[in-house]
Amino acid sequence: MKKLAKRYLPFALITAAIYLIMPVFFQGENYRYDAVEYQFLFPATALVSGLVYSWRHGVDFTFPLIAPIIYIGSVLIYSHFYHWIIYVFIYLIVGMLGCFIGDMVYKSNIEEERAREREQRDSEYKIKISNFTVEKNDEE
């Protein structure tokens, strides 16, 4: 449980800060910029957080649920409009997309690292048989 909290907490705090603090700046006179927040800022947050999380930890299907859950809290605090449920699904899909893209980068990094290890291991080896040592030399 501590391991999951350690993995999710930084991303959840950043997402919560953006979803719960940014609407304060878009209230009142700046209400006309509300669409920018819901259609660009919040999806970008879900995408980037999913991308960075999966880039570090691999794909996790529960991670994209963080953004919609925090968004529901934001809706309950700041606004009460009827089409908020659409945005929950949009942020979920965008977060999953970020996770899949980050997972592709994560897998390619792992494959490159394994290829380097294999190459290094195959380039030099020693076989020790009792008192004799056989070494491979790369003289070509």
Pairing relationship of beta strands 126-129 and 132-135 according to DSSP bridges: antiparallel
Q: pTM for this one?
A: 0.67
Any idea what DSSP says for residue 126? E
Any idea what DSSP says for residue 78? H
pLDDT of residue 104: 84
Contact between 103 and 59 (Cβ < 8 Å): yes
pLDDT of residue 80: 61
pLDDT of residue 133: 58
Pick out the chain residues at pLDDT < 70: 26-34, 79-82, 122-140
C-alpha pair distances (Å), 89 with each of 50, 53, 65, 96, 135: 15, 19, 10, 11, 60
C-alpha pair distances (Å), 27 with each of 32, 33, 35, 45: 9, 9, 12, 19
Residues 64 and 73: their CA atoms lie apart, in Å, by 16
Contact between 64 and 103 (Cβ < 8 Å): no
Residues 133 and 34: their CA atoms lie apart, in Å, by 73
pLDDT of residue 36: 74
pLDDT of residue 124: 61
Residues 47 and 55: their CA atoms lie apart, in Å, by 12
